[in-house]
Amino acid sequence: MFPERLRALRRGQKITLKALATELNQNLGPNEKPNTASQIGNWERGIRTPSYVEARKLAEFFDVSLDYLTGKSDRNDYDLAKLFFSSRDLRFNNTILSSEDRYEIFQLIDGYLKGKDNRRESEPTQSQQEELNLKFK
């Protein structure tokens, strides 16, 4: 399961083996050896298995859990609230969200979810609702 998930994550981000090795080598510890493209290729083919440290670096790079990466979990849930309050840069339509933007959006989502049950009671039928256009420019 690990080889397939690693390959899918890497290809999904259109990143080469060499580029992934370079990214994983950004913050090497004192006793860590640099990763190579052929090493990662061996992981993807199931010929070799990465150490825990390497698997953790892969999970962090792809922003997935170790359980998902290793096949222990089929789902890769992520709490959106944690993302809004993380130190990671967030973008929406190629615009970086400021900390104020993030807080406002968090408040909007939180208010929407808290008021959801009240709206259901007074919600018009499907034929009366307007259709939402989600086509981005």
Per-residue confidence (pLDDT) for residue 84, from 0 to 100: 77
| Beta bridge partners of residue 95, listed in sequence order | 92
Given a contact cutoff of 8 angstroms between Cβ atoms, the answer to whether 17 and 40 are in contact is yes
Our count of domains for the chain comes to 2
| Distance in Å from the first CA to the final CA of the chain | 38
Three-state SS annotation for 21-42? HHHHCCCCCCCCCCCCHHHHHH
- Domain match, 52 and 99 both: no
Give me the tens of pLDDT residue by residue for the chain, a chain 137 residues long.
899 999 999 998 899 999 999 999 988 888 888 999 999 999 999 999 999 989 999 998 988 888 888 888 776 566 777 777 777 788 888 888 888 888 898 899 888 888 887 776 665 555 555 666 666 65
Domain that holds residue 48: 2-70
Torsion angle, alpha carbons of 82, 84, 86, 91, to 10: 130
Given a contact cutoff of 8 angstroms between Cβ atoms, the answer to whether 71 and 5 are in contact is yes
Per-residue confidence (pLDDT) for residue 122, from 0 to 100: 62
Per-residue confidence (pLDDT) for residue 125, from 0 to 100: 54
Sequence-ordered list of residues with C-beta below 8 angstroms from that of 18, at least 6 positions apart, any chain: 37
- Domain match, 43 and 103 both: no
Q: Token digits for 23? A: 């990214």
- Domain match, 88 and 108 both: yes
- The reply to whether 27 falls in a domain is yes
Q: What are phi and psi of 91, to 5 degrees?
A: -125, 150
